[in-house]
Structure 1
Amino acid sequence: MEAWLDGLPADSVGLRNRGLAYGDGLFETIAVHNGRAVLLERHLQRLAVGCQRLALGHDATLILTEVTRYAAAMGEGVLKLMLVRGDSQRGYAADPGRPAMRILQASPPAAYPVVHAEHGIKMFPCATRLAEQPMLAGLKHLNRLEQVLARAEWQDSTFAEGLMLDTAGRLVEGVFSNLFLVRDGRLLTPDLSRSGVAGVMRSELLAQAERAGIPVWIGDLRLDDLAQADEVFVCNSVYGVWPVQAFAALNWPAGPVTRKLQAIARSLLDA
């Protein structure tokens, strides 16, 4: 399916595009099932937060309309929505009145091995550290070089994901997922106020856990906390939940809390 640029078919952007030059924009990766954009409300909520922080002009109603139409035309797959400040002359200064360019791209459904969800994954210990920047923390902005560097650290297909820490040694997330630990029946996940991406599936699972009576704790976690965990899993808005079975010398079962939240995530993605 053709990409759309500001609502019209397109296959390129200009050489002066600020997304290309500076990563000046935001994006959302949205699962599409039966012509419906999954968790769209949460995606658009995060996008709105990002637009506010970056002072990125946008028309929320128009974006909702275009994403809904594009997803309906796709049917199945993964939709990437990008908001980019647009073209400019040389230099960092931007035109504050210019509305963001809207880019929609379609990809086929993600084809991850079934074993990842059924039996769990092994995580690679990434050496690349996430820098602290509270102004950008939580956002899915176009500056993803830290993840690019981290993903380049391993080629062994034994590892389905990599574990990323910040420069102070705190657990943050996977390269393309959010991290959860379970200890004594309580759900733990890293604080993302300094770095990392606040995933929409993470947000949904936190809300669902509270509804299900599962205690939730958000705060600073370190490698020692992994050794004390009863269960570990990762999540994102495309594949749902993967149990983590191993990291370094540590091993965990796919326990009851993981399986409960995995079933909830699957029901959301398959609805």
Structure 2
Amino acid sequence: MGVVDGPSGVSFGDRGLAYGDGMFETILVRDGTPMLWKYHVARLHDGGRRLGISLPSEKALHDAMAAACSQVQGDAVFKLIVTRGEGGRGYLPPSVAEPAWQCRAVPFDANTACWQGITARLCHLVLSDQPALAGIKHLSRLENVMARREWTDPRIAEGLLLDARGELVEGTCMNVAWCEQGQWFTPGLRHSGVAGTLRAALLDAGFLTISAIDTAGLSHSDAVVVFNSVQGVWPLERLMGSDGQLLAEWNDLALHRTFQHDAHPFLGYPSLIQ
């Protein structure tokens, strides 16, 4: 299994480059410790199983992470990309493939200003259904790219994505949760979306319950947050429609702070509850 540091080593024939035939993980590392490591490894192995791609051992992954992050002072983000490698005839993969993987760590500072509250918008793009890929962090992320291209206004921090049923799925790069009568919910991601590792930890801890919601329901929720395993939790202060119309506003962020209080310890981040 080949290991390359950086995009200069990607072969023209690599199936990850040609077809998005692979997976990736983006891991927050604090003081040399990878946050939510077991969840990242579990998701990577789930993706490998479903795509039929062999993976490095957990020790090899951890050693690569430690070596990359040793060159970075302070917090870091470690990114790992695994592809099926080269070979095959067109879309047909080779019967025996030698996966390729590369990794890199870069310094990182969380966008703590967004911990105070953000404006989000609904995206025009509708996520397609593909249960065979739902949940895993595969390399074919063109829907997310297209959705993120929909706005350039720096005052909008994230875009929310719906599926063809009109149900909320996720943000362009974050999971979503909403609060009703003191209980926090998140979409089930059976048809599309990425099952984030912080989401997995919160589900395991009993802080989240799987449910479904549409735009109207979301607008009337008591609180809404977007979150991921790198940036932490961003409370929504305003939700805009894809046409720029204000759909909802949350002036009291006390409920949002309780979600941050439960979620941020998984990342070593502070709670904002005073």
TM-score using structure 1 length: 0.89
Partner-residue secondary structure (3-state), 2:166? coil
In 2: Cα distance, 1:109 partner to 1:93 partner: 38
Partner amino acid for 2:46?
V
Note the alpha carbon deviations across 1:211-236, whole angstroms, 9 max, x for none. Answer: xxx5x431221112112210100100
In 1: Cα distance, 2:128 partner to 2:252 partner: 31
> How does 1:68-217 map onto structure 2 within 5 Å?
68-75=66-73, 76-88=75-87, 90-110=89-109, 112=111, 114-118=112-116, 120-208=117-205, 210=206, 216-217=208-209
Provide structure 2 residue ranges, at least 5 long, that are not aligned to the other structure: 241-246, 270-274
Q: How large is the RMSD of aligned CA atoms in angstroms?
A: 2.0
In 1: Cα distance, 2:168 partner to 2:252 partner: 20
**Contact 1:58–1:99 (CA under 8 A) maintained in structure 2:** no
Cα distance, 1:39 vs structure 2: 1.0
Cα distance, 1:95 vs structure 2: 1.9
Partner amino acid for 1:87?
E
Note the alpha carbon deviations across 1:3-39, whole angstroms, 9 max, x for none. Answer: xx94465532110010100000000011121122211
Q: What stretches of structure 1 move > 4 A for 4+ residues in a row?
A: 7-10
Cα distance, 1:125 vs structure 2: 1.5
Which stretch shows the higher mean deviation, 30-39 or 238-247?
Answer: 30-39
In 2: Cα distance, 1:9 partner to 1:139 partner: 23
Provide structure 1 residue ranges, at least 5 long, that are not aligned to the other structure: none
Verify: 1:269 aligned to 2:261, yes or no: no
Note the alpha carbon deviations across 1:196-252, whole angstroms, 9 max, x for none. Answer: 0000011112233x2xxx5x4312211121122101001001111010111122012
In 2: Cα distance, 1:180 partner to 1:253 partner: 17
Partner-residue secondary structure (3-state), 1:98? coil
TM-score using structure 2 length: 0.88
> How does 1:22-37 map onto structure 2 within 5 Å?
22-37=19-34
The corresponding residue for 2:213 is 221
In 1: Cα distance, 2:127 partner to 2:148 partner: 13
In 1: Cα distance, 2:56 partner to 2:223 partner: 42
In 2: Cα distance, 1:232 partner to 1:34 partner: 31
In 2: Cα distance, 1:9 partner to 1:197 partner: 25
Aligned residues: 260
